[in-house]
Every structure is written in structure tokens, then in C-alpha cells.
Structure 1
Amino acid sequence: MTLSTHAIPHNITDVIGLPIDNVTLDDAAEQVIGTQRKFNINDNSSTRPSVYYFVNANSVNTCCKKPELTEVLMKADSLFADGIGMRIAAKKCGSELIDNVNGTDLLPKLCERAAKSGKRIFLFGAKPGVAEKAAKNLTKSHKGLKIAGTHHGFVSEDKMPSLIAKINKSKADILLVAMGTPIQEFWVEKYASSLDCQAVMAVGGLFDFFSGAIPRAPLIMRKYGLEWVFRLIQEPVTKFERYVLGVPEFLYHVYLENKRFSGVRP
């Protein structure tokens, strides 16, 4: 994994070389809602949306296999720590995360604030029909929430300009991209400068939860960081590599990085 070489601000916690924004769920929601467009990193004469990513154990494993993902994550305006794995990693690196800033808990808070402020949200990603169902459920749960539009994630490269035009025409303030890591991060990196919205957030499988396609783990399992066990029980075949093989792989990376922080060669 390529590590950052720039100074880390006081509110940032270095977790396995990634600058994690160490905030509460409420702070994260306020940050996204109040975001403004930024100067384009590659072209200071233009602006781009603020970009937000969630980082979990799977993200770290992917970064170790695809260093280009690390480079993309480093360009984000904020990285939020998602899951018990990141809490374990932070402790091993000598830090303490103050909250589990995962998308499933953050989205309701984001929608609540968007409804009050009049911000418009566009849902892009997942299988056909899923984003639409998620949008309907979110508007039912949050009175006054404005969904600017929806679109599934199966878009060929030649159709991408028309999708970008649709998103921009919708006058969305916040774009949620649900395509899974690392596809969604690479998509945001490639197309962010073409978007007129204020913020873009990559949200993984979030639409599946809010559409009702996949139930969420019981509260007691979420409280103790065992939601991944519930997901594995639900989808043992599709989640086997991510959790059964991925968790030991992640812990190994944490061990190596902890040795780096302590100055001991593994």
C-alpha cells in the first residue's frame, strides 16, 4: 500500500496508512450536507464535487492488491471508518476511533438533514429497480426528502455521457454511487469533474438494504460489530471470499502495519 507523505490534520487518524476522518455519525452527516464544491485537484481553473468514501477491511485488502485504489482514496475530501475491523486497526496503530461511521447508519441522518435543508439526492447504482425502491422507502421515512433521480449501475461506457447529463440535469446536490469497491471509487475518480453536484459519496451495497432486498443484522449484532457474521450467514457463497478469507488477510495487514509503526521489521 502506498502511504501518504503529507501532514495529517489534527482531526485525522492514520489507520494503516490511510487518513481517516475521525468523527461521529452526526458530524459526518453535517459535513456532507454542508459541503461545497472544491477546486479540481488536477486543474485548479475548474471545480469538482467534494468526494467521500467509506473504508472498511475489504477496502484495505483491495488497496494492498490494487495500489491505484490507495491513490484514489488519498484524493478524497474525507474517508470514514466503517466496521469493527477499522477500529481494531486503529487501536493497533495507537489510535481510537470515536464512532463507526458506516453508510447504513449515516444515510438516515443524511436524509433527515437533506429534507430540512432542501438538498436533493440522486441514487446511482445497484441492480435495475433497486435504487428506485430505495428512493421510495427513503422518501416515506423522511418527510420532505427530495430525490432528484435514480439510475441502475449497469451502464456501458458509451452510455456514460447521457447518464452524466441526466444527473446534472436533475440538479442533484448529493450523488450516491453504489457499485461496490473498487469500481465505484474508480468511477468517481474518473467522472467527478464532469458532475455539477456539490458532493459525491460511494456507498457500496447501501441501496440493497434500503430497498428491502437485504435485511440488516439485529441491533445486538450491530452493537458488537458482528454484522459481517449476519451477512455471511445470509450469503455464504458470495460473501465467503470477503469474510472467511478476507478477515484473516486484513488482520495480517494490520499486524504488518503495526510492526511498521513500532519500528520493528516483520
Structure 2
Amino acid sequence: MNRPSTNIMNVPFSKLTFVETLDHLSEMLEQKNSGSRPYHLITANPEIVMKYQTDSELRTIMDEADLITPDGSGIVLASRWQGDPIAERVTGCDLLTGLLEEGNGRGWSFYFLGADENTSRLAVDKITTQYSRVRIAGRHHGFFPADEEKAIVAEISAARPDVLVVALGAPAAEKWIYRNKQQLNAKLALGVGGSLDIIAGKVKRAPLIWQHLHLEWLHRLLSQPSRWRRQLILPVFAMKTLMEGRRRARS
């Protein structure tokens, strides 16, 4: 399948729509052997793009990723400023929901790693209720000491899930997947940020009207004022991508 992409600050973003991305992943999951290293999907927002510029470990991980999707309106806007537009966001939360819906019909297995113990348990209970034909290969909370990591990797490897869902936050999830991907025995591995918190009902996602207006970031900031320091990166990202867009237009 042809997967067009566009570069934003040297990060190659997929231009596939949400439906096209889900179709691509579904086809891959049906064909891939679970014994090989997982297909590594990264959903990246402007904050991750900015970290890519200074974090050499993250840069290596993203350069070697199988697919990077635009998780954030800022990425979509930047692509338009640079004259190579991405049609829409493809977020980790939406992809997880789509994979669960598709997996419910195909009997895929999922392993969930991340969030606190109560949130992990509640999220998986809700998933089991809503997607009764999805197979739960296992789960583990995300607050484990470093000396337990090998045991968790071994548990995932033995479970051989079709989809490994890692909710350790970004870029911690991406680094964890990359560090252990040779031993995971999963077909697909992806970081999903705080999606388990949303599924569990611990955090509410922005209403659709805020999402359609590209203001989900503002809703999140108003709901969680402690995020304001992280949001300071957004104007820097906007300025850099605007300047890059103007440079490309002149050339």
C-alpha cells in the first residue's frame, strides 16, 4: 500500500486519513506473524516534534518507526503552512478505539501496559464489557520499578498479543517499546498517551465541537491547568513551522 508522507521539522508524518490508517493496520495485523518484532506506530504532536530536535535517542526511535501519525491539530496546520497538507488528525485515542472495534469483529488480542493500577483495571473492565469478543492477553500498571521490567517484557512475550497498548506517556512509551521491541512478540505496538485514563473515565476528552475547532489542546489546558508549562512549546513550534513554510514558498 502506498503511504504518502510529509516532513515537518524533519519528522516524516503519514498523510493517510484515520480510516486509511486503520485499514492499513488491520491488513498488517491479519498478515503479520506474532513472532517477529512489532510494527511500531508513533502518534506525534507538536511537543514530540520539538523533543525530536534535541533528544537524540528519540530521534533514532522516530527515524526507525514504521509509521508516524499526526496526533494534534498543530501538525495538521503546520502541514498546510508548508504547502503539503495532511487531511486530518490521527490520534492515539481514536486509533485505540478503532482497533478495539475492529478487533472485536476479528478476535484480536490486546495487552495493556500503563496508567495506575486502579485506572488500568477499570479501563480493561470497560473494554471487556464493550468489546466482548476482544481477547485480553494481559495488563500491567505503569508504575513499576526498573528491576521489574524484564519480568513484564517476558509476560508480554509469552502472551504474544496482536496489539500491545502502552500508556506510559510520551516519549516514555516510545522509548520503552523501542528498548524492548526485539522481545515483545507483538504484531503492533503503539503508545496511546492518556487514553486509558479516558476509557476508565478518570479524564474526560474534549467535546466534539472543541475537537472540530482544533481546540482540544485548550480544553485540556483548562481542565488540567498544571499542563501550562508544556503548552509553552506550542507558540515556538508554530513560529518555526511558519518560518519553514515561508522559506519553502520562496524557494
Identity %: 28
Q: Which residue of 52, 55, 60 maps to 1:66?
A: 55
Shift, 1:20, TM fit: 1.1
Q: Which residue of 144, 156, 168 maps to 2:145?
A: 156
Is the Cα–Cα contact under 8 Å of residues 131 and 152 in structure 1 kept in the other structure? yes
Higher helix share: 2
Which position in structure 2 is the counterpart of 1:227?
A: 216
Cα distance in structure 1, aligned partners of 2:137 and 2:195:
18
Please tell me the root mean square deviation across aligned C-alpha atoms, in Å. 2.1
Which position in structure 2 is the counterpart of 1:12?
A: 5
Asked if 1:88 corresponds to 2:81, the answer is no
Q: Which residue of 226, 245, 250 maps to 1:258?
A: 245
> Aligned pair in 2 of structure 1 residues 132, 34: CA closer, same or farther (>3 Å)?
farther
Which position in structure 1 is the counterpart of 2:199?
A: 210
Q: Which residue of 91, 94, 99 maps to 1:110?
A: 99
Shift, 1:157, TM fit: 2.1
Shift, 1:155, TM fit: 2.1
Output the amino acid matched with 2:85.
E
Instruction: Normalising by structure 2, report the TM-score.
Output: 0.91
Q: Which residue of 24, 44, 50 maps to 1:31?
A: 24
Which position in structure 2 is the counterpart of 1:3?
A: none
Output the amino acid matched with 2:14.
D
Output the amino acid matched with 1:255.
L
Is the Cα–Cα contact under 8 Å of residues 38 and 49 in structure 1 kept in the other structure? no
Cα distance in structure 2, aligned partners of 1:111 and 1:28:
14
Cα distance in structure 1, aligned partners of 2:117 and 2:151:
17
Instruction: Normalising by structure 1, report the TM-score.
Output: 0.86
Asked if 1:240 corresponds to 2:228, the answer is yes
Structure 1: gaps (5+ residues):
1-8, 40-45
Is the Cα–Cα contact under 8 Å of residues 38 and 48 in structure 1 kept in the other structure? no
Is the Cα–Cα contact under 8 Å of residues 138 and 156 in structure 2 kept in the other structure? yes
Specify the SS of the correspondent of 1:48: coil
Shift, 1:195, TM fit: 0.8
Q: Which residue of 169, 175, 179 maps to 1:186?
A: 175
5 Å-filtered alignment, 1:36-47, equals: 47=36
Which position in structure 1 is the counterpart of 2:110?
A: 121
Structure 2: gaps (5+ residues):
none
Cα distance in structure 1, aligned partners of 2:9 and 2:32:
27
Cα distance in structure 1, aligned partners of 2:177 and 2:244:
28
Is the Cα–Cα contact under 8 Å of residues 72 and 189 in structure 1 kept in the other structure? yes
